Chains A and B, each alone.
Chain A
Amino acid sequence: MKMKKVIAAILMIAMVGSLAVGCGSKDNKTTTNETTTNETAETNGGEAIALQLWVHQTNETPEGKVYEELVNEFNEQHKGKIEVQLTGIARTGNAGGYDDRINAAITNNDMPDVFTIDGPTLAANADAGTIVPIGEYFDKADLADFNKGIIQQGTYNNELYTLGTFDSSVLLYYNADLFAAAGITPATADNPWTWDEFTEACKKLKTDSVFGANLGLNDVGEWLTYAYLPLIQSGDGSLISDDGKETVDGYLNAQATVDALTFIKNLVDGGLVSATPEDFTFEKGSSAMTFSGPWEIATIKDYPELKWGTMPYPIKAEGATAASPCGSWTYGISKDCAKEDQAAAAELVKWLTDTESCVKMYDAISMPPARQSSFTKIDAFQKAPLDVISYQMANTAIARPIVVNYPILSDKFAKAVANVASGMDVQQALDDAVEQYNFQVGK
């Protein structure tokens, strides 16, 4: 008898537990709404609007420290009107941590008012309605100051959703000593090499202990798409249709894409680049060139004996479109930000992305600013080696495709590049990518 009672008691507790958990979803939403209304009521009564800001860096990193500083200044400036609470959440290289936490917040309908979003995930967020358009809060003239790539990556269905503090790019770094020894003259920002010229240079530079270039082919992920999509764009190709239908067949496997991957394949097959490069081969002098972002400069500084310079992205052939990567993290205003608080949230985004803030961020982490007016305030961008970045940002940068299924698209393309590098036929690798993409998205 006793035993049965105990079992019954355990079951009771368990059921109560499951009820509290399982059916909590709807109840919880109402509570969240209630708290929001309470907050607004308080605001009307003259109290400050409370805003939550989540960023993907903790205040233990230089980038996180800048967010903290900017938010403190903002709170100081808007005392009594807006009070921002900043939360930094750690993020791993595999996009764990921060992204999981945001997903959980979406599930629980408890998103922060403003949060950082990686550029290429904008379309999915806008499509799902987790973020709201912000265009109406910004002047046209002010928006014109942003790099065109920043506006491109923040726009979905003709509505502006996000803006950023910094942009990013990829450059071709070269070893000046090895170039001189091989008798090679580097290209200038407005007169880039063609792919053939690049390949020729690699052949001259290649020795038993030196590769022509490091393409970072070991980093199979977003890097490969970010860095090598411009090769396709230079042939006026694309990974996916931009007509809103998001078709990949005839784009991801079109001639322009085949040409780009054949270019990479020939470099690997010819032994000019390594399919499994080690890190820092450029700094150690075992690769004469490398494709990398602005962050590479800080690493290079640890190798004082290295003489180096930068070059723009090579183009497909003489007269072809010059294309270069761009885009990075941005800010979005979430669906859970109360309608009447959105103007205040936009005020915060404005503050985080103004000319001064962009310069401050550059000073801390060396990332190129999101605004033209900030570029002019930073001397380093007026001369070599960084002038190539400002040239590319202003003239050749093209944003990654603004499509809902970008993560799948990018994954399939990156895998195709890796497959080609490990010996697969180019057309087959791309046809497989198309098939896989269509299967994944259910087409």
Chain B
Amino acid sequence: MNNQVAKKKMNMESVTGLAFVAPALFLLFVFLIIPFALSLSYSFMEYNILKPDEKTFIGLKNFIKLFHDKVFLKSVLNTFVFVVSVVPLQVCAALGLALLVNRKMKGISVFRLAFFAPTVLSLVVVSILWYYIYNPNNGLLNAMLGMLGISAQPFLTSTKQAMACIVIMSAWQGCGFQMMIFLAGLQDIPNHLYEAARVDGANKFYLFRNITLPGLKNISIFISLSIVISAFQLIIQPMMLTQGGPQNSTITIVYQLYQTGYKFRNVGYGSAMAVVFTLMVLIIVLIQKKLTSKNNED
């Protein structure tokens, strides 16, 4: 009898759960899963965007071609370099800023706004200005290095420095976004935890280690995952600043697949890139999730 009641309750719970997720899932299915399934099918076809009625099945040819495509392989490498460098930089900057602006003070929202500003700004404004900052001839950065006695650097024109320039600009532009999310997380940490610890005479570092960081656990999982995914999708910054150059040193996977699919009209090959990209990032995210969930068990 009791068992049956529990079961009924379970069913009720399941129905409510499904009802809660159903609207979102349905829309995602129609507007994301189906389109991606189509891309998946195109990746096995030769498909010129101008000739939609002449799609032909060519098996794995697109995928085999990918592994011989020097520029694609270069773009994979570039993308990894970007992700590995931008993610820690951006997460630390975002957390630092969030801690700075997480206080009750008159006018603190002005500072929040300031740090958030690059996220809001038009990329046109941002890229014009950074182009001038990085300009090797008479740019701001070289002027500042000159004052420190460092010789002028080539920045965006150098195959060695261009990606670093894009990393710095991206972190600068993006960290305000994660700052706001960290801030929402910080606001959710109950104040009384701090008060109790303070009464016990804990110092600031202790509070940060033992209350702030654990309190941000759930939100950190979100931030690290979303930042990794968005870093993998890098396209606009190189498009605006370097067009992938010099000598393909800043070409990225998504930039490549965009060019191939739209500019070169090779939808089949572009879709194969998208599929490989999605699988690759999925595997990395799964590994990342495994690692973080292991940490959580400790």
Contacts and interface: CB of A to CB of B under 8 A. Distances in A.
A394 interface: no
A411 B259 contact: yes
Contact of B137 (A103, A274, A405): A274
In terms of DSSP, what is the predominant structure of the interface of chain A? helix
B208 interface: no
Contacts of A422: 157-159, 245-247
Q: Say which size band chain A's interface belongs to.
A: 35 or more
B30 interface: yes
Given A14-B26, A276-B135, A411-B259, A124 B247 contact: no
B239 interface: yes
Contact of A106 (B22, B29, B50, B159): B50
Interface in A248-285: 274-276, 278
A59 interface: no
A191 B40 CA distance: 58
Given A10-B18, A21-B34, A220-B243, A411 B136 contact: no
A204 to B, nearest CB: 20
A128 B51 contact: yes
A181 interface: no
B157 A436 contact: no
A350 to B, nearest CB: 26
Q: Say which size band chain B's interface belongs to.
A: 35 or more
A103 B26 contact: no
Interface stretch (A42-50, A92-100, A151-159, A337-345): A92-100
Contacts of B50: 103, 106, 124-125, 127-128, 130
Nearest to B61: A442
A415 to B, nearest CB: 7
B263 A95 contact: yes
Interface string A105-132: 0110100000000000000110111100
Nearest to A440: B264
Contacts of A2: 11, 15
A344 B136 CA distance: 56
B195 interface: no
Contacts, number: 105
Nearest to B21: A10
Residue among A99, A103, A276 facing the most chain B CB atoms (10 A cut-off): A276
A17 B30 contact: yes
A94 B239 contact: yes
A103 B136 CA distance: 39
Interface in A340-387: none
B259 to A, nearest CB: 7
A189 interface: no
Interface string A1-16: 1110011001001100
Contacts of B18: 3, 6-7, 10
Nearest to A220: B243
A99 B262 contact: yes
A408 interface: yes
A7 B18 CA distance: 8
Given A7-B18, A103-B262, A22 B34 contact: yes
B25 A10 contact: yes
B51 A407 contact: no
A194 B65 CA distance: 44
Contacts of B137: 274, 276, 278
B105 interface: no
Contacts of A178: none
A422 B38 CA distance: 40
Given A18-B34, A276-B136, A278-B135, A418 B246 contact: yes
Interface in B245-267: 245-248, 259, 262-266
B132 interface: yes
B143 to A, nearest CB: 14
Interface string B138-159: 0000000000000000001111
A439 interface: yes
B247 A424 contact: yes
A416 to B, nearest CB: 10
A127 B54 CA distance: 13
B246 A10 contact: no
B14 A124 contact: no
Residue among B19, B68, B259, B265 facing the most chain A CB atoms (10 A cut-off): B265
Nearest to A15: B29
Contacts of B262: 95, 99-100, 103
A419 interface: yes
Contacts of B48: 128
Given A221-B243, A422-B247, A6 B19 contact: yes
A419 B30 contact: no
A220 B137 CA distance: 19
A275 to B, nearest CB: 6
A107 B26 CA distance: 25
A2 B14 CA distance: 9
Contacts of B30: 14, 17-18, 21
Contacts of A276: 135-137, 156-157
Contacts of A100: 262
Contacts of B15: 2-3, 6
Contacts of A124: 50, 265
Interface in B105-140: 131-132, 135-137
Contacts of B52: 106-107, 109
Interface in A412-431: 415, 418-419, 422-424
B225 interface: no
Contacts of A18: 29-30, 34
Contacts of B11: 1-3
Q: When A and B form their complex, which 7 residue pairs have the shortest distance between CB atoms, in order from nearest?
A: A128-B50, A422-B246, A220-B243, A3-B14, A107-B52, A128-B51, A418-B245
11 contacts: A3-B11, A3-B18, A7-B18, A14-B30, A95-B262, A99-B262, A103-B265, A109-B52, A124-B265, A436-B71, A439-B69
Interface of B: 11, 14-15, 18-19, 22, 25-26, 29-30, 34, 38, 48-52, 65, 68-71, 131-132, 135-137, 156-159, 239, 242-248, 259, 262-266
Interface of A: 1-3, 6-7, 10, 13-14, 17-18, 21-22, 94-95, 99-100, 103, 106-107, 109, 124-125, 127-130, 218, 220-221, 274-276, 278, 405, 407-408, 411, 415, 418-419, 422-424, 436, 439-440, 442
Given A18-B34, A95-B262, A107-B52, 17 more contacts: A10-B22, A17-B26, A17-B30, A100-B262, A106-B52, A109-B52, A125-B50, A128-B48, A220-B243, A221-B243, A274-B137, A278-B131, A278-B135, A407-B265, A415-B244, A419-B246, A436-B70
